[in-house]
Each structure stands twice: as C-alpha cells, then as structure tokens.
Amino acid sequence: MKKAEKIFNDTRRECRKHIEDWGYEMNVDGNSIGFNGLITEDVICVRTINDVQTILNKARDTIKLDIKLGITNLEKEQSKIQVLNMVQSTLDNQRKSL
C-alpha cells in the first residue's frame, strides 16, 4: 500500500468515526468541517497531498457511477459522501498549512 493510500484510509476512518460520534457538521459557507490536517505521523509534501486528492476523486467518481448505473441510490450513499466531504475539507486545511 502506498503512503498516500494509507493516509487517505486513515483520514477517512477518522472522519467516519467523527461523524458517527458527533454528526455531520458544516461551516457557514456550506463546506464540511474537517480536521486541521491529514491523519499521519509522516511528513506531508505537496506530492502526497496531490496523490491523496487523486484517490479522493476516484472514490467520488465510483459513488457517482454506482448511482448513475442504479447499483445504489443517493440515500444509501449519503454517509459515504459526507465522509468524503470531510476528507476533502481536511485535505484543503492541510494544503493551506503548507
């Protein structure tokens, strides 16, 4: 497993746990509330952030395709979408801190 995949999976797991414990929260501007940075002990560089963004985009595309093909519906995937929104906000916060 690549470094970016591990960071994405760890961050997604913590975001899911946070939403289960505290609920899905949004900022005033409509974006999801996220953590200050990605969940990792490793040093983060721009390349790693870009790799995590690519993995996140693929996860979003998979959900969109499943809904489009009728494999699932939006209500069933809403929790996954919320988790990915929180991961995106966390990723944006990490990018700002660099």
**pLDDT tens sequence across 63-92:** 999 999 999 998 889 999 999 999 999 999
Two tokens, residue 93: 């916060």
Q: How open is the CA angle 31-13-65, to the nearest 5 degrees?
A: 65
pLDDT classification of 98: cutoffs 50, 70, 90: confident
Q: How far apart are CA 57 and CA 50, in angstroms?
A: 10
Is residue 21 scored above 90 in pLDDT?
yes
